[in-house]
Structure 1
Amino acid sequence: MSEKVKIKIARNVVHLPAIALRGLVVFPNNVVHFEVGRTKSIAAIEAAMHANSSVFLIAQREMDIEEPTIRDLYTYGVIAEIKQVLRVSDDLVKVLVEGKTRARLLELDAGEKYLQATVRPVAVRGIAADKRNQVEALVRSLKDCFEEYLSYSPQISKDVVYNIISSDSPLFLSEYMPANLLFKYEDKQTILNESTLLGRLEKLLTLLRQECQIMDIERDLDDKVNARMDKGQREYYLREQMNVISEELGDAEDTRAEADTYREKVKALNLDEESTEKLLKECDRLARMQGSSAESGVIRSYLDACLALPWHTATEDDLDQAHARKVLDREHYGLQKVKERILELLAVRKLNQDVKGQIICLVGPPGVGKTSIAHSIAECMNRKFARMSLGGVHDEAEIRGHRRTYIGAMPGRIISAITTAKSTNPVILLDEIDKLAGDYKGDPS
């Protein structure tokens, strides 16, 4: 009995030239064309053409292997008939083949010229009588799932669609569908490895449903991306229209470019998140306005005032008592009580570093040196000095700044003094505070 089995196996064994395919799985009863570039593969085609035009096609497990061995190839492949060979160049050949029979790879001889494979044709097992209804249900489910697949991939050839819809043969569908649909080559090989028709149909249905789910997710993502792109393109189109209208009206000033310049300056300052958000919001408002509008001038003034402030510039305090006394004695003669009070102020500041701001009031008739004492305090502490005269001021808006709703609104005296001093911690002198005037317009005191 064992001898008969051996004779049967020996009779079915076929020796053929083999081609290892990268990322391609060929099925029986399907015509495929592909390019061949490896020397051994070209030699295998030439050997097959000289013999009987049959060649064994089998897929590689890894696409980047140049010299595959039997471990690098899958177990099952296809015996195919070469229909046409077209030499494109010395190292590239286009081949048209038709798959004939599914076969199992037994041995592989990696000769010097080409791969020689020992294979045994293996047919797919038929359907048992009690499984016919199950197979019929699988075929119907496959067709229903294929119609859903078509809604996601309308670019499939009409011939492919017709052949699948019009056929009721389970064997034909199990070979034709994976060969012509966009599955990964590993999934196609899984179907080719399956020896039972029922198992093939089940795996094919599972793969097709998975592909439909993936394509449904892809469609949702595409819709979201397209919606965002459409919104961006619509805004761009409307902005271009606004620019053209502005040019036609003679107002060719481009506030968008100006807003972009302001935006870059704001980002370069590296401010805290709240301040940056506020200034960038003003830049966006400016970009949407006409260059000649009154409000755009207000926003420009506001941004210029904010950008001119010394956000990150500060001087380091010098609280040395000896240095302070030396400076005060050099600049002023006498005034011992005033000097002692100033030294006490510096001593308290040295002991308590957390003091945010200190106010000292200098009182006296004109010409006794109140302003020069303030200047000396700044020199003692190594700080910048800024003087603001309040004589004749009768509107508190001049001190704290005008409301931005007014055309030509300006920052207040204190902000202007900080900008002039170019430091975040200057010594500010509020001079002539006794000359503040209060009337019906307001009382700045």
Structure 2
Amino acid sequence: MTPERAKPRRRRGSRDLPASLPVLPLINTVVFPRMTVPLLVEMPASISAVLSANSDRPVVMLVAQRREDLGLVNPDDLYQVGTVAQVVQSIRVPSGGLQVVVQGLTRAKVTMCTSVDYATGEPRAAELPVAESAEPASAPGEAEGDGGSDRDGAGDEPVAPTTGPGPTFLRTTYEALSEGDTRTLTTEALMRSVMNQLEQLIEKGRSGHPEVLTTARSTEEPGWLADIAAFAPDLTVAQRQQLLEITDPTDRLRAVSGFLSHHLDIVDLKNKIQGEIHKGMEKTQREYFLREQIKAIHRELGDGDPQQTEIEGLRQRVIQAGMPEAVRERATREIDRLPMIPPGSPETGIVRTYVDWLVSLPWSKETADSLHLRDAEQILDEDHFGLEKVKERIIEFLAVRRLSGKLRSPILCLAGPPGVGKTSLGRSIARAMGRTFVRISLGGVRDEAEIRGHRRTYVGAMPGRILRGMRDAGARNPIFMLDEIDKIGRDFRGDPSSALLEVLDPEQNATFSDHYLEAPFDLSRVLFITTANLLDPIPPALRDRMEVISIPGYTEEEKVQIAARFVVPRQLEQHGVTTSHVQIDDEALRL
């Protein structure tokens, strides 16, 4: 039913009505007095209720159902207040049901409802009738015709065709409810408020029928105005039923005013949201238009499309990066997505950043090792006093590399107390071998993503420290120092030491996969050097992958030699003082 278009008629008297009336249950609608509403009656019990009405003046009791999902109903399923209505018209339809038009007469309270035998008219225990729903109402002057077969909220299940009345129907006695006639200043104020709200709602919401507003403007009865306003907004059945049960016009106006105010707030919010969406769409269209203009200007100047120029530049960088075939195909697929992404979309920046990371990694670039053993030994001696075991191991590696031409890089772990030169030794080894040097500190690292990176689904995702260090190195065979490996922590975010297993395992690091890149990167040519103060905190699985070289603390003589050869000359140089100005002997250093 479309209540906004219900046809108002003059109120008829409720005198000389039968003491009991057939009950026609309704779903999803409430019929008010003076309203003319078409109904499609298809269920046998409901047909029986309509046909059992007095033929001279057929009158029924229209009562709303409390729930929509009921089939057969009993009196407890119905509201206590309904509308006495006259059946103005009743026509058979091809499905076997009835097309009826009812006109509300007066409010009434159900007092006693019983099941009646259709054939005899006597009460009996039998199946109770099924609720009918109001169908879309016609505009004034159209109620006489066929109102269609649509049902208004009786569920989505199809209605079976019928051939006639059912065996039983509900009949009820009732008590007609009269309205008060008292009009006060409050009533007048409420009428003006409701009229104003009704006009705003129809104007802003663009809902309702103009005839409803015309009828509301022409009435001077507060109760009739409240009933008209009840069908202007999309009130629920419970709200309309509440208005039907209020007999005092002033109270009914106050209630409907509250409902209208609530719906006006909803309409205002809806219009605000639609306005913001429309404004956003206009901004997007304007930006698109301006971008197209910029492209046209560049074409006229012979500069070409800036976006296309950038894409071609990325393609050239992918070709020049020397990356493996599988990685190159992945990068090409990402670049092919760029023209299809709307301009200004955040996805554009994500794709560009990802491709930029792929092309900036040293997939094939590497530095040549310096295999001159005496030069390497001289460099190590210049930078560090003592540490013979470490120096011998580096010289051994270079010697074997010189003989065989290839050798898997060792993974060294320099263990010793603070201040013995573990970190600075890594730089000396890089200088001696002619490689670039990268250092990252693992002290306090607790997140596995610091090693493996974040997946691209996260905002601000980036590769882990390993691949960031490889990019900074600019070569795939640097000296990579993992400082303070014994101070790695673990918590709910993961275990970084477990992520390092793949990095430091010679059998696995040739295909190291970062969560961000999701492409294998070769770390087998990297010479990893780790440092630790204590070996006990290092997990056994990680310690087994490293060649541990212990660096004990210096003796007094070694400390004197380090001070005389390295510390004092460096301090003199930093302060602009020469040995001709200051001389420090060994005895002074021992103090």
Q: TM-score, normalised by structure 1?
A: 0.57
Superposition map of 1:272-421 within 5 A = 304-308=355-359, 332=400, 346-348=412-414, 358-361=426-429, 414-417=473-476
- The one-letter code sitting in structure 1 at the alignment partner of 2:357 is C
CA contact 2:111–2:175 (8 Å) conserved in 1: no
Compared with structure 1, are the counterparts of its residues 198 and 423 closer, same or farther at alpha carbon in structure 2 (3 Å cutoff)?
A: same
> Please, which of 220, 225, 229 is the counterpart of residue 281 of structure 2?
229
Superposition map of 1:38-77 within 5 A = 38-48=43-53, 52-77=57-82
- The one-letter code sitting in structure 2 at the alignment partner of 1:415 is G
Aligned to 1:164: 216
CA contact 2:28–2:64 (8 Å) conserved in 1: yes
Aligned to 2:32: 27
Superposition map of 1:75-154 within 5 A = 75-85=80-90, 90=95, 94-110=99-115, 111-112=126-127, 113=166, 114-128=168-182, 131-154=183-206
Q: CA deviation at 1:35?
A: 3.7
Deviations 1:30-70 (A, max 9, x none): 11224445443344334448674322211111211222222
Compared with structure 1, are the counterparts of its residues 35 and 304 closer, same or farther at alpha carbon in structure 2 (3 Å cutoff)?
A: same
Q: Which stretch has the larger CA shift, 182-191 or 20-29? A: 182-191
- The one-letter code sitting in structure 2 at the alignment partner of 1:174 is A
Secondary structure of the equivalent of 1:348?
Answer: strand
Compared with structure 1, are the counterparts of its residues 125 and 240 closer, same or farther at alpha carbon in structure 2 (3 Å cutoff)?
A: same
Aligned to 1:270: none
CA contact 1:39–1:91 (8 Å) conserved in 2: no
CA contact 2:22–2:60 (8 Å) conserved in 1: yes
CA separation in 1, counterparts of 2:351 and 2:259?
Answer: 61
Q: CA deviation at 1:15?
A: 2.5
CA contact 1:19–1:55 (8 Å) conserved in 2: yes
- The one-letter code sitting in structure 2 at the alignment partner of 1:127 is D
- The one-letter code sitting in structure 1 at the alignment partner of 2:102 is V
RMSD in angstroms over aligned alpha carbons? 5.2
Instruction: Confirm whether residue 201 of structure 1 aligns to residue 244 of structure 2.
Output: no
Q: TM-score, normalised by structure 2?
A: 0.44
Aligned to 2:242: 190
Secondary structure of the equivalent of 2:179?
Answer: coil
Deviations 1:274-310 (A, max 9, x none): xxxxx99xx79x9769xxxxxxxxx999864422456
CA contact 1:29–1:99 (8 Å) conserved in 2: yes
Gaps (5+ residues) in structure 1? 1-10, 263-278, 290-298, 312-320, 336-341, 365-369, 375-410, 430-445
- The one-letter code sitting in structure 2 at the alignment partner of 1:307 is L
Compared with structure 1, are the counterparts of its residues 310 and 182 closer, same or farther at alpha carbon in structure 2 (3 Å cutoff)?
A: same
Identity within the alignment, %? 23
Aligned to 2:542: none
Q: CA deviation at 1:185?
A: 1.8
Gaps (5+ residues) in structure 2? 1-15, 116-125, 128-165, 316-333, 345-349, 363-388, 404-408, 438-469, 479-509, 511-520, 529-591
CA separation in 1, counterparts of 2:30 and 2:195?
Answer: 22
Compared with structure 1, are the counterparts of its residues 34 and 418 closer, same or farther at alpha carbon in structure 2 (3 Å cutoff)?
A: farther
- The one-letter code sitting in structure 1 at the alignment partner of 2:429 is C
CA separation in 1, counterparts of 2:301 and 2:92?
Answer: 66
Q: CA deviation at 1:108?
A: 2.6
CA separation in 2, counterparts of 1:234 and 1:42?
Answer: 61
Deviations 1:178-232 (A, max 9, x none): 1444322211111100122222122122222222222222222222222223323
Compared with structure 1, are the counterparts of its residues 142 and 246 closer, same or farther at alpha carbon in structure 2 (3 Å cutoff)?
A: same
Secondary structure of the equivalent of 1:165?
Answer: helix
Count of residue pairs brought into register by the alignment:
326
Q: CA deviation at 1:28?
A: 0.6
